[in-house]
Amino acid sequence: MATHEKRYVIIGNGVAGTTAAETLRKNDPNCSIHLLTNERYPLYNRVSLPRFLQGVLPEQKVMIRDFAWHEQRNILLITEVLVSSVNTEERVVRTEDGREFPYDALLVASGGWANPLKVPGASDTKHIYNFVTLDDTKTIVERMLESRTALAYGGSFIAYELCDGFAMRKLHTTWLMRGPYWLRNSLDTDGGEVVDNIAKKFGVEVIHGDEIDSVVPSNGVPSYVKTIKGREIQADMIGVGLGITLNTQILEGSPIEVNGGVVVNEYLETNVPGVYAAGDVANFYDSTIKRHHTMGTWDNAKSHGQVAAINMAGGHQAYVDIPTYTSPLFDVNIAVVGSAESNNPEMETVALREPGEKGNENYRRLFFQENKLVGVLMIGSPKGRKKLIDVVKSQQPFATPAEREALLTLK
């Protein structure tokens, strides 16, 4: 039993870490809370970065917390510090600049960093960007203002957001992806076509099934890229969305189990007592699909932060939630509920494509596991989304094709 005030250390001040700090303070007025981050800002909204990129949202609207908010709550936010290791025997977190932070309970909420473009010509060429942080966004905006052509590379949400930002800023935009269509693990050919058609409406040239072979610079800035299928694509700047690598390297050498993300049980606790993980970095047990997985969504990270903090402070609350995600997709919306990944062999799917508004189409794909609806993906009209969330929560069986197809038109 600690005889001193309880000491909490949190690695990462994203939405998971900051929510955890806030919850700890509410539950324990006397504890000490150190919130550590390598970034230079208090919590900002990553979900708002695409609108800042497009120029429709000013920087101050991206910020969620300021330094004063932390001071008022006696949360010791330490910015621009890189955590280098965790020693679970001594119960201490160490930083690259030699500082030590002893803890009674530790939360790893370190998210992930974007994978860089690794092809010949990329490392010594400027204006090739990842898109994860506020600082990334500021640098991209600066370059967009002096560019005429841009390439968005990748088949994920981040590549789409970059593509949308370039097109909104009236750059001549090419969107190149290796897969046969965008979100290859969640859409099918029809869904892919629906997205391509929307992108084309905004003047984007979409190329599938090809990859960057090399970047050809001129005076240190991109001139064009060569693809493995022999294309040459002009680009003054390149936006890269090739996924993220979860920040688990700080746990190397510790007994904390890592498998992709930091493995936690339904209480978000790792195999080492007193050490928890939350948000993007957590490989957590999802009771809806009855297996561990990672999830890169804002709401999931926020709820994780809350539940982890309750448990760090001595509570015993299981994380049970249906993660949801909505995002603009050019001039329509995309909504994802639960687990919508068809690369899981246990999933069965049905889909519907139909005419929508503004000359676009609506697309809906439903994901079933053991006859239960576990995931929903909707492009275009969101009508019926709330009812479908209730169906996912209900765990009701849908054994026949007719029963499943009826859900495709639920409004």
Instruction: Compute the least distance from the CB of residue 293 to ligand FAD, in Å.
Output: 13
The site for ligand FAD (CB under 6 A) is made up of 11-17, 36-39, 46-47, 49-50, 82-83, 109-111, 131-132, 158, 161, 247, 250, 279-280, 296-299, 301, 325, 327
Q: 332 vs 199, 361, 381, CA distance in Å? A: 11, 9, 8
Q: Which is nearer to ligand FAD, 23 or 247 (CB)?
A: 247
Q: Which is nearer to ligand FAD, 17 or 222 (CB)?
A: 17
Buried b (16+ CB within 10 A) or exposed e, 378-394: bbbbbebbeebbebbee
Q: 288 vs 339, 395, 404, CA distance in Å? A: 9, 8, 18
Q: Which two tokens stand for residue 183?
A: 């979100």
HEC readout, 380-402: CCCCCHHHHHHHHHHCCECCCHH
Instruction: Compute the least distance from the CB of residue 244 to ligand FAD, in Å.
Output: 8
Element (H, E) at 304: helix 298-312
Task: Give Cβ neighbours of residue 3 (< 8 Å, ≥ 6 apart).
Answer: none
Nearest to 76 by CA among 3, 23, 8, 132: 8
Q: 369 vs 91, 191, 308, 348, 351, CA distance in Å? A: 41, 21, 28, 6, 15
What DSSP assignment string belongs to 202-234?
A: TTPEEE-S--EEEEEEETTEEEEEEETTS-EEE
Q: Which two tokens stand for residue 227?
A: 């693809």
Q: Which is nearer to ligand FAD, 204 or 250 (CB)?
A: 250
Q: Which is nearer to ligand FAD, 35 or 407 (CB)?
A: 35
Instruction: Compute the least distance from the CB of residue 81 to ligand FAD, in Å.
Output: 6
Q: Which is nearer to ligand FAD, 111 or 192 (CB)?
A: 111
Instruction: Compute the least distance from the CB of residue 47 to ligand FAD, in Å.
Output: 4
Instruction: Compute the least distance from the CB of residue 83 to ligand FAD, in Å.
Output: 4
Angle formed by the axes of helices 189-201 and 157-168, to 10°? 20
Q: Which is nearer to ligand FAD, 75 or 407 (CB)?
A: 75
Cα–Cα–Cα angle for 272, 277, 278, rounded to 5 degrees: 160
Q: Helix (H) and strand (E) counts for the chain?
A: 10, 27
C-beta separation of 285 from 259 below 8 A: no
Instruction: Compute the least distance from the CB of residue 292 to ligand FAD, in Å.
Output: 16
Instruction: Compute the least distance from the CB of residue 364 to ligand FAD, in Å.
Output: 19
Instruction: Compute the least distance from the CB of residue 107 to ligand FAD, in Å.
Output: 10
